[in-house]
Amino acid sequence: MGKVYLVGAGPGDEELITVKGLRAIQEADVILYDRLINSKLLNEARQEAELIFCGKEPNKHGLIQDRINEQLVFHAQQDKVVTRLKGGDPFIFGRGGEEALILEEHHIPYEVVPGITSGISAAAYAGIPLTHRQVSGSVSFINGSKPEERTDQEWLYLANGADTLCFYMGVKSFPAIREKLLQAGLPASTPIAFIHWGTFAHQKTIKGELGTIIERLPEISNPSMVVIGEVVRLSDQLKWFEENPENWFDYTSTQV
């Protein structure tokens, strides 16, 4: 019996992967990798390692999740070391829990290797501290793909229950998200940022206020993190990366 590593590759900057995650890439016989990982990480794989693309895009999937699960089980049962390489963190909107349950069901040894999720990293590279003394003492990470499935009570809680809101997969459904938050009492003047391709060299941040940002929606596309809260204002002073990337890193990223 082989072994599976469920690895968070981080958000885009290849240097943000953990030491343990890098070792899992280097040891793997088989790597199943997602669309949003930095392709430079695959250069760390052994020459004889089998690389399998299983990325997903909106309305366009590579290997669907059931097929990915089958591949994990099949290769591990062939006595291989399998690394499932995911963007961000495997247990934060990464379906890593589902994959771990399948491995448990088949009695396959595995390890979870946490990664830096995009909600944290993209905001940091945009100069937005998600928590800041006397400004934000709480953060919510929210799946923004199906806002219509939340009740009005849930939206009331989201709008008033945390100081900073981070929406994943929220670009397409943002008009509905915005409307729900405004109806739940979040002020129209609340600062908001869309961070496109967070931590990659070509990262771009578009900022505004919840009430009027809708006018700039044509400028925004996936993949983008949506960060809402007063901490967004701090980026005017702390925008260390986008203004001076050449002073900090020498990496020209390519996407898979």
Q: Given the structure tokens 């040894």, which residue do they identify? A: 109
Distance CA(57)–CA(162), nearest Å, equals 29
Q: Name the token pair of 79.
A: 């006595």
Map out the domains of the chain as residue ranges: 3-116, 119-243
Instruction: With 0.95 as the threshold, say if the pTM is over it.
Output: no
Which residues lie below 8 Å from residue 93, measured CB to CB, with a gap of 6+? 117, 141, 143, 168, 169
Active site amino acids: 34, 56, 169
Quote the radius of gyration of the chain (alpha carbons, Å): 19
Tell me the pLDDT tens digit for each residue of 166-198.
Answer: 999 999 999 999 999 999 999 999 999 999 999
Q: What is the pLDDT of residue 250?
A: 44
3-state secondary structure of 132: strand
Give the list of residues 6+ apart from residue 20 with CB closer than 8 angstroms, or none.
Answer: 113
Segments of 87-155 assigned E as strands: 110-113, 139-143
Ordered strands of the 164-168 beta sheet: 139-143, 164-168, 224-228, 191-196, 204-209
Instruction: Answer whether residue 57 shows pLDDT above 90.
Output: no
Give the C-alpha separation, 41 to 14, whole Å. Answer: 6
pLDDT at position 64, please?
Answer: 86
Region of residue 12 (left: phi > 0; alpha: psi -120 to 50; beta: else)? left
Please name the CATH architecture into which domain 119-243 falls: 2-Layer Sandwich (3.30)
Q: How far is CA 15 from CA 41, 151, 249, in A?
A: 9, 40, 10
Measured between alpha carbons, how far is 174 from 177 in angstroms, rounded to an integer?
5
CA angle 174, 147, 209 (to 5 degrees): 35
CA pseudo-torsion sign 167, 171, 172, 173: positive
Q: What is the pLDDT of residues 11-53, one digit of tens each?
A: 999 999 999 999 999 999 999 999 889 999 999 999 999 999 9
Specify the CATH number of the domain 3-116. 3.40.1010.10
Evaluate whether 3-116 and 119-243 have a shared fold.
no
Digit-coded pLDDT (tens) for 58-96: 655 557 899 999 999 999 999 999 999 999 999 999 999
- Whether residue 251 is predicted with pLDDT greater than 80 in this model: the reply is no
Q: What angle do CA 193, 249, 131 make, to 5 degrees?
A: 35
How confident is residue 242, by pLDDT bands cut at 50, 70 and 90? confident
